[in-house]
Structure 1
Amino acid sequence: MKTLSGNSQVNDFQSVKTALASRSYKLLLLLVLLSCYSFSFSPENMFNETFFSKISDKYGEDRTHAFHEWQKLIINNTQRDAYEQLNRVNQFANRNIQFKTDIEHWGKDDYWATPIESLGTGFGDCEDYAIFKYVSLIASGIEESKLRLMYVRALTIDEPHMVLIYSEEPNSIPLVLDNLKSRILPANKRPDLKPIYSFNGQGLWLSKAQGLGNKVKSGSGSKDWTQLMERIEQGQ
């Protein structure tokens, strides 16, 4: 992975923005977050009899098993160390969600599904995997500041792609959680991915190879991230 700096970094970022927009990613995030929409998720308040009844009504009784397993995963994860938490969540998502494009799944060029929608239907695209893992890890007790969703270019297929990254310390090389690979590896062991930018509920960063990159200090804001977080908190 190459480190970008100065004007070359900004120019590359702008060109990728255009490319991603053509894929209907809409760049929801460029902004996102700079309103600092803080994310919270309370599994103890969510997983109750009413919740499972709604899941059964909407997605079918056969899908409730996956949600019971998700509940167990989150509860048990609170007792595990961070690396074990990452592995358990990564494996669970990759096993329980099958890849399907948004146009095939939702009839839309671009749709950000909540974790409930992804697990309920059993399908999702790369963004949905990353969102599911992000939410599950926060619910497990991982600090949001250590997690970011990252847009990359998957060089082996030459397409924009999204992964989840975890960094124990601000200057450490992040670990990559990816639906294309079952094994979690450091970013410097993933030469097939070219990082572009990363984000969470606290901000947006231009990416670089070592560490987490430079924070973008301004943005116009998009409703998409906020609406996604609201839908998650409403149990959708």
Structure 2
Amino acid sequence: MARDTLKTQHRSTSGRPSSRLSALFGLIFLSLAYSLTAAPDFSIKMSEAQIKKLGQKYGEMAERRLRAWQNLIIDSASLDEDEKLHRVNRFFNQLRFIDDIIHWKKKDYWASPVEFLITNGGDCEDFSIAKYYTLRQLGVPIEKLSIAYVKALKLNQAHMVLTYYPSPGKTPLILDNLIPEIKPANRRLDLQHVYSFNGDNLWLSKKGRRSTLVGTSDQLKPWVQLQSRMEHQDY
């Protein structure tokens, strides 16, 4: 799937041909015959010793970013969900966009929030994943969050965003690294939704909303690989 994903960001509009977007649909239906256990969430809280250990390995600025992230989690814990969304979105949108082939020397790599922060950059998947896990750590229910693959129509490229559902029947909000504002999906006419997933499920998407449940998110190989690394991460 991910190798057909086109990376986008407002500072760069280069990417793979949009005709390949159709290949994303093929992945959705892979392994639908299998019954898989819903993927777990992982705690992203770090101790001071873990932060210092990574700082010694990756440098002072990496240590500062990790500490700022942990402070964000602590300081935002008692806020309402709307403020949590805005703080988390602002925090991660400060990081730089960089394509996987340059950053990781791979066509596609889904970084953990820690990897994203210590290297000070990532692509659209990494922005969305980091926001997802941080909001989950802050107590936002899993059913309110989905990571969504979309087509950015103005750029004619595939893209990834985080969606937040205030309630099941409401239009979701879009957290995006392309723009600083959080807007409802029906005001993001520049995005065409393809599918979305979270730690539990995988849906086809239509007009910004989950439309058809097609299985569990364990069917997405990059997602399974990411969670395996996070489960066994050694600081």
TM-score by structure 1 length?
A: 0.82
More helix by share: 1
Amino acid at match of 2:232: Q
Percentage of identical aligned residues: 42
TM-score by structure 2 length?
A: 0.82
Task: Tell me the distance in 1 between the aligned counterparts of 2:156 and 2:31.
Answer: 25
| Contact in 2 for aligned 1:37/1:226 (Cα 8 Å) | no
The reply to whether residue 200 of structure 1 matches residue 198 of structure 2 is: yes
Give per-residue Cα distances to partners, 1:28-82, cap 9 Å, x unaligned. Answer: 8966996243332324xx4213311221133112211111110111112210011
Q: Secondary structure at the match of 2:210?
A: coil
Structure 2 unaligned regions, length at least 5: 1-19
Partner of 1:136: 134
Amino acid at match of 1:35: L
Amino acid at match of 2:86: N
| Contact in 1 for aligned 2:144/2:164 (Cα 8 Å) | yes
Partner of 1:164: 162
Partner of 1:155: 153
Give per-residue Cα distances to partners, 1:163-202, cap 9 Å, x unaligned. Answer: 0000021221000000001000000000000001000111
Task: Tell me the distance in 1 between the aligned counterparts of 2:86 and 2:217.
Answer: 33
Go from structure 1 to structure 2 and tell me whether the alpha carbon gap of 1:116 and 1:165 turns closer, same or farther (over 3 Å shift).
same
Once the two structures are TM-superposed, the CA of residue 98 in structure 1 deviates from its matched residue by 0.4
Partner of 1:11: none
Structure 1 unaligned regions, length at least 5: 1-14
Partner of 2:66: 67
1:108 to 106, 109, 134: 106
Q: Secondary structure at the match of 2:222?
A: helix
Q: RCO higher in 1 or 2 (8 Å CA, sep ≥ 6)?
A: 1
Q: Which residues of 2 match residues 24-39 of structure 1 at below 5 A?
A: 27=27, 35-39=36-40
Runs of 4+ in 1 over 4 A off after TM superposition: 26-34
Give per-residue Cα distances to partners, 1:4-50, cap 9 Å, x unaligned. Answer: xxxxxxxxxxx8441x48xxxx948966996243332324xx42133
The reply to whether residue 86 of structure 1 matches residue 97 of structure 2 is: no
Task: Tell me the distance in 1 between the aligned counterparts of 2:188 and 2:117.
Answer: 27
Partner of 2:11: none
Task: Tell me the distance in 2 between the aligned counterparts of 1:40 and 1:220.
Answer: 12
Task: Tell me the distance in 1 between the aligned counterparts of 2:61 and 2:39.
Answer: 33
Partner of 1:57: 56
| Contact in 1 for aligned 2:172/2:185 (Cα 8 Å) | yes
| Contact in 2 for aligned 1:31/1:221 (Cα 8 Å) | yes
